[in-house]
Amino acid sequence: QVQLQESGPRLVKTSETLSLTCTVSGGSITYYYWSWIRQSPGKELEWIGYVYYSDSPKYNPALQSRVTMSVDTSKNQFSLNLTSATAADTAVYYCARYSGNYFQHWGLGTLVTVSS
C-alpha cells in the first residue's frame, strides 16, 4: 500500500521560498504522476501542479510564475518550491498520487504558515 509523507518547514517568512518534500513508500515514484494540492484554512482545495519523473511538470496558471516541482528518483521523493511567499500561501499542503485523472492517494498534509 502506497504511503506519502510531507516534510519541510512549518513556518516560512514573508517573501522567502516555501519548500516541501514528499516521500513515497510502498512503490516506485517512476510509475505515476505526483501532485501538490493545498487548502487554506476553511477553504476549498487548490491544485498546485503535478510532476512526472521523465516529463515536464504542469502547474496551476495562477501559481505558475512562482512554482517549481521536481522528482528525485534515488530517494523516491518529489518536491515543491513556491517563491515569494505571502500570507495568502498559508495553508495545509498535501502531496498526492495522480493516476487516471484522479488523486488516488494522499499524504496526511502539513500546515505551513507564512509570516513576517
Q: Which residues bind another protein (CB under 8 A)?
A: 35, 37, 44-47, 50, 58-61, 94, 100-104, 106-109
* CB nearer another protein, residue 15 or residue 45: 45
From residue 84, give the alpha-carbon distance in Å to each of 14, 20, 45, 113.
Answer: 7, 15, 21, 13
CB 74 → another protein: shortest distance, Å? 26
* CB nearer another protein, residue 9 or residue 58: 58
CB 69 → another protein: shortest distance, Å? 14
- Report helix, strand or coil for 50: strand
CB 43 → another protein: shortest distance, Å? 9
What grid cell was written down for 59?
Answer: 502547474
CB 45 → another protein: shortest distance, Å? 4
* CB nearer another protein, residue 14 or residue 104: 104
From residue 109, give the alpha-carbon distance in Å to each of 26, 33, 65, 100, 106.
Answer: 18, 18, 24, 22, 8
User: What is the amino acid identity at position 53?
Assistant: Y
